[in-house]
Amino acid sequence: MKTKVIILGICSIIVLCGCTQQMMNQPSLEKLGMISVIAVDYVDDDTMKMTVIMPQPAVEAMKHTQVFSIETDMIHKGIVEISAKADKTVTLRQLRVVMFSEEFAKKGKMKEVVDYLYKDTEVRSNTFVAVVKDSAEELLTSEYPDKQNTSVYINNLFQPRMYTYFSPFTTVHEFIYDQTNPLLDAITPYVELKNGLINIEGIAAFKDGDLSYVFTQQEGKSIQILRGQNNLSVLAVTLDKDSSDKEKVVLEFIRSKAKIKSNHDLASPKIKISLKFEGTLSEYEGEKDLANKTELASLEKEISKNIEDDVRGFLQKCQELSIDPVGLFESYRMQYKGDWPSDLTDQLLAKAEFEIVAETEVLSTGTLK
């Protein structure tokens, strides 16, 4: 019995010594440089420009954010080079956002970098990714005088909020999932520096790893609706756009529901999309008396028709571009025997017929006249 106690004591000492030694080898938080945002720009086929920012917590610091930029051929190698420049040990444990220039994404390089970050144990899977219209570095090196600091500003920008539900804020995990899904093409926010602020201008869509097309914000709402986004912030609709008597409608606090049904016929695919919306009418410009139930019902039908036209136009563009950012053929794969061929989604999309039915219910018109 004494022998067992002695052996157990020796093992405990060894374990404790090992843990203590490991803790001694770990730098303290004060000695760590926490990279929060990375910007990647294209230089050539073998080289990328990597710019990083790190919060500067020291009260006496002149700036709240440190910026480092280097040219490298690999992310890890770049981190090592930045560590040599910085006064702290650099880590990716607090990485929040990674932005890629449009040129870099079009060259098909973005997938490689995101894949590396996805496999890095230091990087969280909910780190956001985005595409920048011109220089990604410029977004990190620009001054934003009315913001607390660049790191916090960019991090907050990519957090889903009430009025940005339309935008597909895409994480590292989601991007890799979409890229490896034979039924779906990946999408990310598309941002641009305008008038001293970062603006989400549209949705970048990828095909086989390359940036292929940028959808507008309005088309982005169609994507979110068809992907099953249950809550939408605002839906602004202009009815009879070509008429002098056009009406303008703004719905808020919208609950949406989308059902996609198919005939499971690979030779002649037909898809029926049923959409239902419930929301509060917050603004209205037009001649209808919304206190009249008949005229309110007429407005609801016009809104539904407008949504149907928007979704139909979006799907037609998807067919022209051979891009499916929605996953329209999931039910086909469920009935398919064997591995799904990589080009079968494109074949189905090219010849698919769509039936779109939307139903809109205005729950409240408030004090509108």
Structure pTM?
Answer: 0.84
Residue 136: CB atoms within 10 A of its CB come to: 29
Structure tokens at 79: 């981190």
Q: Is 107 helix (H, G, I), strand (E, B) or coil?
A: coil
Please tell me the distance from the alpha carbon of residue 245 to that of residue 251, in angstroms, as a whole number: 20
Consecutive 10-residue runs of the chain (369 residues): their mean pLDDT?
A: 52 49 47 87 95 76 78 91 83 93 94 93 93 94 86 86 70 93 93 92 92 91 86 81 77 88 94 93 88 91 93 96 94 90 92 96 71
pLDDT, position 15: 47
Domain ranges in the chain are 29-216, 228-369
pLDDT, position 350: 95
pLDDT, position 29: 46
pLDDT, position 23: 41
196 backbone φψ class: left, alpha, beta (φ>0; ψ -120 to 50): left
User: Which CATH number does 228-369 carry?
Assistant: 3.30.300.210
pLDDT, position 312: 95
pLDDT, position 165: 55
Q: Residues with Cβ < 8 Å from 174, sequence gap 6 or more?
A: none
Over residues 200-212, the pLDDT tens digits come to 999 999 998 899 9
Percent residues over pLDDT 70 in the chain: 85
Please tell me the distance from the alpha carbon of residue 331 to that of residue 27, in angstroms, as a whole number: 51
Q: Residues with Cβ < 8 Å from 45, sequence gap 6 or more?
A: 107
pLDDT, position 133: 94
Over residues 139-152, the pLDDT tens digits come to 999 988 888 788 88
Give 136-204 as a DSSP string: HHHHHHS--TTSS-HHHHHHHHTS--GGGTTS--EEHHHHHHHHT-TT---EEEEEEEETTEEEEEEEE
pLDDT, position 61: 55
